[in-house]
Amino acid sequence: MQGAALQSQATAAEKAAAVDGLFPKSALDNHASRRILVLNRNWQAVNIVGIRHAFALLFREDAQVIDASENGQNTYDIEEWLTYSLENPPAKACDALLTTRFPVRIPDVLILNDYDRLPMKEARLSRESIFERDEYTCQYCGGKHSADELNIDHVIPRERGGRNTWENLVTSCIRCNERKANRLPHEAGMRLQRRPRKPPARPFAASAISEHWANPEWRMFLHA
């Protein structure tokens, strides 16, 4: 049993090594910033990976290519994709991975063969994510504002040991922020509208669409 597991690992490693064998490192490096969307077998977005990881998934036969330009109608395993690349050379240099033999088309979207789970992504603490959690509403007076009219308030002021946490940061309008100053809410005669908490994790797709390098070819797969 253990032997079989080791053997299949060796095979996976060999196939991953094939990525480096077929594709010179410089060719992979030329596309270091390229990102490929990965779907689970239920067509739900579950990851965004670099080009080396993407081809390793293909060579290990863990994933197939979905050709987004064909409305996701066709999927290709690695052999079919190499053949397709040979017969339909990539039109643009940015879509071509140069190998020792012929340029291989760089896929935009992969679909995993076996994986059907939907991992959740933890919310990342940032100014924008606090505003988003609080729905751009001042947590003291309840006024709704645009981002440039809002501040982040430390409920327990930093000077008094208040930290940068989901539970201690709230959206505040500039007026309430100035009024509260370096005091606790009750010392300023103010009350929070609701207790600040960490927002629940969201399915990966909901957070992926906002990533700045989101590829237009991904759009049809990120509605979930």
What does the binding site for Zn ion look like in residue numbers (CB under 5 A)?
Answer: 138, 140-141, 143, 173, 176
Rounded to a whole number of angstroms, the minimum distance from the CB of residue 170 to Zn ion is 10
Closest to Zn ion by CB, 106 or 170 = 170
Q: 193: which 2 tokens?
A: 């509208």
Closest to Zn ion by CB, 41 or 183 = 183
Closest to Zn ion by CB, 84 or 136 = 136
Q: 136: which 2 tokens?
A: 């751009």
Handedness of CA 87, 93, 96, 100 (dihedral sign): positive
Closest to Zn ion by CB, 115 or 136 = 136
Q: Are 35 and 47 in contact, with CB atoms under 8 Å apart?
A: no
Closest to Zn ion by CB, 96 or 150 = 150
**Helix, strand or coil for residue 208?**
helix
The three-point CA angle 201-203-207 to 5° equals 85
Q: 166: which 2 tokens?
A: 């989901």
Rounded to a whole number of angstroms, the minimum distance from the CB of residue 141 to Zn ion is 3
Rounded to a whole number of angstroms, the minimum distance from the CB of residue 157 to Zn ion is 17
Closest to Zn ion by CB, 193 or 215 = 193
Rounded to a whole number of angstroms, the minimum distance from the CB of residue 137 to Zn ion is 9
Rounded to a whole number of angstroms, the minimum distance from the CB of residue 185 to Zn ion is 12
Q: 223: which 2 tokens?
A: 């509605």
Q: 139: which 2 tokens?
A: 């947590």
224/189 Cα distance (integer angstroms): 44
Rounded to a whole number of angstroms, the minimum distance from the CB of residue 125 to Zn ion is 22
Following DSSP, what letter does each residue of 32-98 receive, concatenated?
TT--EEEE-TTS-EEEEE-HHHHHHHHHTTSEEEE-GGGTT--EE-HHHHHHHHHHS--SSGGGEE-
**Beta-bridge mates of residue 48:** 37
45/79 Cα distance (integer angstroms): 24
